Chain A
Amino acid sequence: MPQHVLIVGGGVGGTIVANLLARSLHRDEIEITLIDSTGKHAYMPGWLYMPFNHMSADDDQLIRPERGLLNHHVNLVTGEVQKIDTQNRELRVRHSAGLGEIVGTGGASEAVYPYDYLVLATGARLEPSDLPGLVEGEGKWHHFYSAEASLRLREALHSFEGGRIVITVGGIPYRCPPAPLEFTFLLDEWLRKQGLRDRTEMHYLYPLPRVFPIETVAEVATPLLEERNVNYTIFFNTEAVDTERKIISSMEGEEFPYDLLVLVPPHRGAKVIEASGLGDEQGWLPTDRATLEVKGQQHIYALGDATDLPVSKSGSAAHFEAKVVAHRLIAEIHGEQPANGEATYDGEVMCFLETGQSRATQLVFNYEHPPHPPRPSLYYHMEKQLFNRAYWHLVPQGLV
């Protein structure tokens, strides 16, 4: 009898696990089903570029059908997981599209999927209601954490004639820690090209005692902000936004007025994690930092943004974690002990930080070693641009 592996979430982590398992195990041994709410795979790092026209909404570098990225031995179900029942080892799923194509459900709109092994790659969700003022002021503040929001920000920038732009984060943790800095550098470059920089005051607000969580990276980024005449305020933990008066205020008691606000929305884990009582108070899954097993559960793994691990919520972390999860599952299904090195996550993350003016730097780190970013250069910028294109052919397939 084949073992049933259910994977929830068709982002980078879930897709790599599915493909690695399908390639490594025989169909007699395993049946793999990936459940995704949209059936579409988004390349989220691309949203950063959209406000500046470096990528457009209809660009197929931003979104593609998940089916085309999956090994043909992987079943794809498009639907929303309503409940994870760890007692009975089953998921309740409400299907959203393509019912006729769903194997074994008879086209029912809701079905129960049993599992032997479960992989939770359920990601993070944006939750503006966690910060007072955001829901009431919808449309009056901006972000670049979805394709739609990036397009709206693009429109706002294209009608911007000067004033004060505030860039900050609405809560912690949030996906892709370098993104607010990258946005600031790209915005500075764009405003200069538009001839608007002289009429614009840019202000970057950050919750920590430096402009980036890691000191070695802040040491590279701070002089760049100063060089480009971007004001910055540290120890600013956003407490509320008043979109009528156009003022943002902090837990530390400071206030800043703005003309245009770009704020990374507060993040939480997926709703189904909360609904199933599996997450912490923000919906993140308590996860073993080395084995990636969900704490207190059997045969359940978590990876990517969904975990509570002390690493950045990024596609890169999900990418490295996916290999560990696949390795452990293959060993478990073969009844073997997982080999140490490949079956242990050491906190590895590798990502780029765009610094504008066609330059970037690179961050490589793990639980034990902080990054030592090289001087920003054209080389890393080109590498990132190449990666944006090569992603679709290498990463989801688990080839790198």
Chain B
Amino acid sequence: MPELTDITIDKEIDARGSFCPGPLMELIRGMKALPVGGVLAVLSSDPGSAKDIPAWIQKAKHEYIGAFPEQGYTRFVARKAH
């Protein structure tokens, strides 16, 4: 996994404290609006994101860059592939 400082993030969405609709929905919404090749970060405090977000990125065939733990939340980073 690359260092966070090596990545240029084009858009960051703060989805902390979100159960409904939740961080994955914010990520999908963000991905849709992003140009191909763009990098999206989503901040989540939901433990379910660690499973949901990589699973969706794999299913939708985008590029998963990684999960970067912060104090009380995680920053999930992905690149739009198509």
Contacts and interface: CB of A to CB of B under 8 A. Distances in A.
A209 B56 contact: yes
Interface residues of A, number: 27
A370 B23 CA distance: 14
B29 A172 contact: yes
Per DSSP, chain B at the interface is helix
B30 to A, nearest CB: 10
A177 B21 contact: yes
Given A208-B52, A289-B17, A347-B17, A235 B22 contact: no
Given A173-B29, A208-B52, A237-B28, A213 B60 contact: no
A271 B27 CA distance: 24
Contacts of B18: 310-311, 367
B59 A252 contact: yes
A251 interface: yes
A349 interface: yes
Interface in A249-292: 251-253, 281-282, 289
B15 interface: yes
Per DSSP, chain A at the interface is loop
A352 to B, nearest CB: 14
A207 interface: yes
Contact of B26 (A177, A251, A252, A310): A310
A207 B56 CA distance: 9
Contacts of B28: 172, 207, 237, 251
Contacts of A214: 19-20, 22
Interface string A291-331: 00000000000000000001110000000000000000000
A238 to B, nearest CB: 11
8 contacts: A173-B21, A213-B20, A214-B19, A252-B59, A252-B60, A310-B18, A365-B19, A365-B20
